[in-house]
Amino acid sequence: MLSRLIHDKRGVSEIIGSLLVILIVATAGVAVYAYSVDAFNSSSSHFQQQTRLDEERLRERILIPRVWGDAPNQLNVTVLNYGKIDIAIDAVYINGTAVTAFLEGRGVFTGVGELVGVKCTSPIAIQSGSVYEITVVTERGGKVTVYWTA
């Protein structure tokens, strides 16, 4: 009988098979747990960063007190920062078309209560007597729009 137990390997195979299945399931569980913890931390960090950006955007306040043309298709836009945080102008749109040629003022940090002059070349032809929608956007996404008659 002892020799029969030694030569019968079915019981050992079932035990090894069960251990392998348990090992595979445990490894998969650890991998899923590690991925979910990393994904949760990443989304939490992104949420905190987005919340901070939204808070800073709410503290921005800008005003366009004056717009005037210098030369053909060149505009000067004066921007006043009256918010509670420093700003930098990132983009200017004229009638919805982005300005691509800045001569000065883009990316210049402007403190609270300060003015910055943004000089740019208009992407559309400026005609005397026409009304234009001018939108100024900060680096954080705050914006202000005015209507200007050339």
113: nearest Cα among 63, 77, 57, 55: 63
* Distance, CA of 88 to CA of 136 (rounded, Å): 10
Q: How many Cα atoms within 13 Å fall on the side-chain side of residue 10?
A: 3
Higher pLDDT, 87 or 4: 87
Confidence of residue 24 (pLDDT cuts 50, 70, 90): very high
147: nearest Cα among 137, 135, 133: 133
Please report where in the chains the tokens 């032809």 appear, as a residue: 125
Amino acid 147: pLDDT: 94
Amino acid 137: pLDDT: 93
Judged by DSSP in three states, 72 sits in coil
78: nearest Cα among 48, 120, 37, 42: 120
The pLDDT tens digits of the residues spanning 26-75 come to 999 999 988 888 888 777 778 888 888 888 888 889 999 999 988 788 99
Residues in the chain: 150
